[in-house]
Amino acid sequence: MAVLNKIRQRSIFLIVIIALALFAFVLSDLFRNSADLGSSQDTIATINGNDIGREGFMNQVENMQRQMGPGATSTQTMNRVWDQEVRRAVMENQFDGLGLSVEKEQMRNLLRNNFAEFPEFTNEAGIFDENRLNEFIANLKVIAPERAPLGNFQINYAEWVNNEAAIAVGAKEQTYFNLVKAGVGATLSEAEVEYAMESANVDVKFVNVPYASISDSLVKVSKSEISDYINKHKTKFEAEASRDIQFVQFTEAASLADEKAVKENVAALLNTKVEYNEVSKLNDTIIGLKSTNDIEGFINANSDIKYTDSYVAKSGLPDVAQDSIFKLSVGQYYGPYKHNNMFKITKVVQERYMPDSVKARHLLIPFVGSRAADAETTQTEAQAKVTADSLMDVIKKNRSKFVDLLDFSIDKVSNEKEGVLDWYAYNSMVPEFRDYTFENNKGDIGVVKTDFGFHVIEILDQKDKTRMLKVATLAQKIEPSETTIDDVFNRTSRFEIALQDKDFQDVAKENDVVVRPVNNIKELDENIPGLGSQRAIVRWAFDKGTKVGDYKRFSIPGIGYAVVQVSSVNKKGLMTPEAASASVIPEIRKEKKAKMIREKISASTVDAVAQSQNVSVSTASAVNMKNPTLSGAGLEPKVVGTAFGLKEGETSKLIDGNKGVFMVEVTKKTAAPKLDNYQAIANRLNSSQMNTAQMKAYEALKDAADIVDNRATFY
């Protein structure tokens, strides 16, 4: 009590202390973030000195998301807009420097070319009408920001303006790259060199002492050697900032007890039972699957798979219970059985002998609102039914008239085959059409309504009648119970707590979970192998407050939880020896092995080297510089290049190749026959260079651009 009284006496003092502490925390966070954000808080990027604003960029991402649909992730959509914006900024810089522009008359021509086929801009004769284009644009401006229909989509004035700008940029790009292509070409001298590389050839015999002849364990590579190699080849080892992480998963998977509970629950739905109703205070009789007369209602009310009112062949039944179900009589059932992560009971509702395929012909009469209706459809549903019945009466009296009546049918595809739909399986047609043609007999004629309209159908033929079943399947998913979910949460929490004073790997071993490493994650990456799209993990790993050794729990929808630890922070610049070791060590080993092999060889002829090193002599014929490959050795440009520098009969010194240390002897040298004219080859080179000029030119401009990328701050 004395302590409590002292606290009460000093309550105002304590409140002041707590308030000052919170204020200091907020201030420190504010100063830290202001240094980080600065002018970038509303700027997605700065490209060649021009800012891309956050709001405009995000609006574009939103529009792009609508275009790409729900299948595209936000990061994929953002990257698509980013690529467009970078291209626009980079190219605009070039356009301004060259003074390229699109004048009013050129813009009109561009709009005509882009929209000539749109009915909104054509007159009664189907010819593009500029006045209609002007009226459409003026109307968009008046109703802005509302949208108006254009073709198969909707557009507003702002989007139209952006579209015009995109068309203009496209025209300027075409002009720019045409200028680039005009400066790209191959001279006759280049053509002559190309011809010589393709046509001149040598025959050689060679010896190869492979690097693999020396075990890797005999060649030690130090960390300092890796560092030296990186510094000598800096351009190869420039790296973006990246993070290495490791994680463990705690999966919310159904336990054996959960499976048993689901199975028992499914089995309990078989039989009729009496339950006390707390609301009515009376006993309710709950009809089971065995006794119900409303099979469809029962299945739809109690099953995770809805009732399907159609027949299936034996092959269409679940493979794990196929034979057992197909042996049942109508009214009998099989189960519970496990299939596709569900427990199921299947009851046979009906049986019928039906063909496995049917050949029929039809006339399709659409009505306004049906799926087959087009701009010329004027009949109501009732009128279309009368038309179909009339056509059926005519055909029944004289079946040869069927082909004469095809003009009434809107199905242009089948009309080309006299209305015939060739052999099709049970589930190939819409249900109403399917049921008529499979459940009636060869030669029957009838009218059937579907979503497409009214069909006048004649069944031409049927094949191989077999037993088919209509079944009702009661199915419930095997899912983790609340107890299991709570247990997974508690296991994850205990794992986190243990990490406070233990090593990640040790805690994982104690908890019998697998540690999965993921290396070289970039700041704008989205996918984590094994976890899928997890942008939140990447953002946390790159947060300025996240250090090596930090860990955090993440909820993974559909999986459970992942506890993630940052194992390495790799800054932008040269790769560390550890990060580069996988690619550097083999190269250093190769250099050391080449030196070791050279030190063992004193012979100066191919045969002598082969004998001293206990390897065989090989030969290669008609080797050219364009494809520097030695049969049995693979691609060896350095060896082939050396051979072309030798005279016939000469032998090279030792050559450090891709696969080993070589010595080569030229046995025959064939010069390329002289041509009277190299213009055809020059034309081929010219065409090839022009095809790649546009892509390479843009990539060069992009590489040279000054780009400050702040996307990771917002996405």
Report pLDDT digits (tens) over 695-710: 899 999 999 999 998 8
> What's the pLDDT score for residue 504?
96
CB 469 within 8 A of CB 458: no
For the four alpha carbons of 184, 188, 192 and 195, in that order, the dihedral sign comes to positive
CA 239 from chain centre, in angstroms, equals 25
pLDDT over 90 percentage in the chain: 63
Mean pLDDT of the chain: 89
- Cα 203 to Cα 403: distance, rounded to the nearest angstrom: 73
> What's the pLDDT score for residue 375?
80
> What's the pLDDT score for residue 56?
87
Model confidence pLDDT, tens digit, residues 172-191: 999 999 888 888 888 999 99
pLDDT over 70 percentage in the chain: 94
pLDDT band at 125 (very low <50, low <70, confident <90, very high): confident
pLDDT exceeds cutoff 80 at 450: yes
CB 609 within 8 A of CB 208: no
Average pLDDT over residues 194-210: 96
CB 450 within 8 A of CB 429: no
- Block residue for tokens 């799209």: 533
> What's the pLDDT score for residue 40?
53
pLDDT band at 118 (very low <50, low <70, confident <90, very high): confident
pLDDT band at 611 (very low <50, low <70, confident <90, very high): very high
- Cα 187 to Cα 683: distance, rounded to the nearest angstrom: 9
- Cα 630 to Cα 634: distance, rounded to the nearest angstrom: 5
> What's the pLDDT score for residue 150?
87
Average pLDDT over residues 42-67: 88
pLDDT band at 464 (very low <50, low <70, confident <90, very high): confident
SS3 labels along 80-146 = HHHHHHHHHHHHHHHHHHHCCCCCHHHHHHHHHHHHCCCHHHECCCCCECHHHHHHHHHHHHHHCCC
- Cα 662 to Cα 465: distance, rounded to the nearest angstrom: 73
Average pLDDT over residues 392-418: 91
SS3 labels along 215-230 = CHHHCCCCHHHHHHHH
CB 68 within 8 A of CB 76: yes
Model confidence pLDDT, tens digit, residues 634-643: 999 999 999 9
Average pLDDT over residues 210-228: 95
Model confidence pLDDT, tens digit, residues 278-313: 787 788 788 899 989 999 999 999 999 999 988 998
> What's the pLDDT score for residue 17?
39
CB 62 within 8 A of CB 20: no
> What's the pLDDT score for residue 15?
44
Model confidence pLDDT, tens digit, residues 158-168: 889 888 888 99
The two beta strands, 342-365 and 420-425, are: antiparallel
pLDDT band at 123 (very low <50, low <70, confident <90, very high): confident
Give the Å distances, CA to CA, from 123 to 114, 120, 126, 651. 16, 8, 5, 80
pLDDT exceeds cutoff 60 at 271: yes
- Cα 226 to Cα 580: distance, rounded to the nearest angstrom: 8
pLDDT exceeds cutoff 70 at 692: yes
Of 141-150, 240-249, 487-496, the range with the lowest mean pLDDT is 141-150
- Cα 334 to Cα 458: distance, rounded to the nearest angstrom: 38
Average pLDDT over residues 121-141: 86
pLDDT band at 8 (very low <50, low <70, confident <90, very high): very low
> What's the pLDDT score for residue 28?
44
